[in-house]
Amino acid sequence: MHGLQVSIDQDKCCGSGHCVQLAPEVFDQDPMSGTVILLQSAPTFASHEAVREAGAVCPASAINVMEPALSRGHRGIPSIAATISVGEGPAAVAFSPDGREAYVANYGRWATGAPGRTVSVINTDTRAVIATIEVGVGPSVLTVAPNGATVYVGNYGSAKAPGNTVSVIDTANHKVTPPITVGNAPDGVAVSPDGHRLFVSELGSETRLGTSMSVIDTATNCVIGTLEVGEGPGAVAITPDGTRGYVVNYGTPTDPAGTVSVFDVERNAVIATIAVGKSPGAVAVTPDGKRVYVANHGPFDAPGNTISVIDTTTNTVVATVGVGSGPGGVAIAKNGSRVYVVNMGGNDAPGSTMSVIDTQDNTVIATVDVGRTPAAIALSPDGRWAYVTNYGTNTVAVLDLNN
Ligand code: SF4
């Protein structure tokens, strides 16, 4: 079974009509009895989120939604192996290079006046939180140095009160060392493969959108340069050979047309700007460096549902892949065969799924449940496990990618 399937139990239906409101192309009601009529048992991809929601809200439990991955025994279809409780509003996750620890940035919840300021450290053998480290306010992104000695945490703060620091964690003792001062609202961090440079994008404040990145010498933790990129820069990724960087630019609140700035790492200069989907929120490079996958999250009140695929030779978009609502995080398998996208959703309808893309033909081959409002994903260095931060439930879902 390659697509989502739906069936109904008409005997249970009480005729509330919720399903028809949510997905009129899939459900109808009998004009006489008011009971549900199924128009499509294998709805098209565009209807999947609405069908899932119909199944969740049906007051009579009359709708059965079957995810392709939920039929057990499909080798290679990810499944949840464990769930780990972390801090409030986990927004980012990264593994140590040896795979023994995972670090989770707990962004918190500004909407309720409770910003986070911690990083949870998970022992990946026991799947227990072994340390909680205090960092700056509103940590939203983090990355681990290639030698595993340091974790860099971008303290985003909020749109009204942006932070301007990167916390530095010594992984040997889980203690912070003096932070690095950067521009407003650091919302993307990446270290060059040789470990010498740290790139930090600066999203800016509500009144003054950022357009820059700070370049930091990791030997001294001093800012040694800045780079002008697009409006509202966020996630950053560096190619495996260390020559190019790709940073997503959200655009402005009134014009969320998203772009990706491509920069030459050595020369510290932007060499191309590529139009992608609205408000792109995540980016990853394939292990061979030939493709870049960009998650077009879109504005929170009108989330997008696509991934842009960039050819790094021409720096052009060569494919656009339909995924779930509000794709918020992306990770690529060690062998480059799969791309995993977590669908965070938007303000009105939080997401709960992960799309699995086959990179050979850039098609979605499975959609699996991962938990409420999945915000970020990282793969273990051995390629076996995916850790997904579920922002809505303060948990990390551990998915077995081999199943
Ligand atoms: S939401 Fe459920 S109860 Fe209401 S019409 Fe649809 S199937 Fe029937």
**Dist. CA 349 → ligand 1 center (Å):** 19
On whether both 21 and 110 belong to a single domain, the answer is no
Q: Which CATH number do you get for residue 42? A: 3.30.70.20
Entry pTM:
0.81
**Dist. CA 65 → ligand 1 center (Å):** 13
166 is a domain residue: yes
194-216 tens-digit pLDDT: 999 999 999 887 777 899 999 99
Q: How many angstroms separate the CA atoms of 150 and 222, rounded?
A: 15
On whether both 17 and 134 belong to a single domain, the answer is no
4-40 tens-digit pLDDT: 788 999 899 999 999 999 999 999 999 999 999 999 9
14 CA closest ligand 1 atom index: 3
Q: Which CATH number do you get for residue 349? A: 2.130.10.10
Q: Confidence band (pLDDT; 50, 70, 90) for 310?
A: very high
On whether both 50 and 84 belong to a single domain, the answer is no
Q: Which domain holds residue 58?
A: 5-66
On whether both 345 and 382 belong to a single domain, the answer is yes
72 is a domain residue: no
On whether both 111 and 10 belong to a single domain, the answer is no
Q: What is the pLDDT of residue 39?
A: 94
81 has pLDDT over 80: yes
Which protein residue's CA is at the shortest distance from atom 6 of ligand 1?
Answer: 19
316-372 tens-digit pLDDT: 999 999 999 999 999 999 999 999 999 999 888 889 999 999 999 999 999 999 999
Q: Confidence band (pLDDT; 50, 70, 90) for 72?
A: very low
On whether both 312 and 357 belong to a single domain, the answer is yes
235 is a domain residue: yes
**Helix %, strand %, coil % for the chain, to 5?**
5, 50, 40
On whether both 144 and 9 belong to a single domain, the answer is no
Instruction: Give the side-chain half-sphere CA count within 13 A for 195.
Output: 11
Number of domains in the chain: 2
**Residues above pLDDT 90, as percent of the chain:** 80
Residue type, position 114, single letter: A
How many other CB atoms are there within 10 angstroms of residue 230's CB atom? Answer: 23
- Tell me the β-bridge partners of 176: 169
Q: What is the pLDDT of residue 3?
A: 63
Which tokens is 238 given?
């560096």
296 is a domain residue: yes
Q: How many angstroms separate the CA atoms of 375 and 352, rounded?
A: 10
Mutate to test the pocket of ligand 1, among 8, 13, 21, 37 (most ligand atoms within 8 A of CB): 13
Longest dimension (CA), the chain: 76
**Dist. CA 54 → ligand 1 center (Å):** 8
Domain limit, last residue, from 40, 66, 92? 66
On whether both 59 and 88 belong to a single domain, the answer is no
71 is a domain residue: no
**DSSP conformation letters of 373-403:** SEEEEEE-TTSSEEEEEETTTTEEEEEES--
∠61-45-21 over CA atoms, to 5°? 45
73 is a domain residue: no
Q: What is the pLDDT of residue 50?
A: 83
29 CA closest ligand 1 atom index: 5
On whether both 153 and 286 belong to a single domain, the answer is yes
On whether both 172 and 294 belong to a single domain, the answer is yes
On whether both 186 and 260 belong to a single domain, the answer is yes
On whether both 116 and 36 belong to a single domain, the answer is no
Q: What are phi and psi of 376, to 5 degrees?
A: -150, 160
Q: What is the pLDDT of residue 252?
A: 81
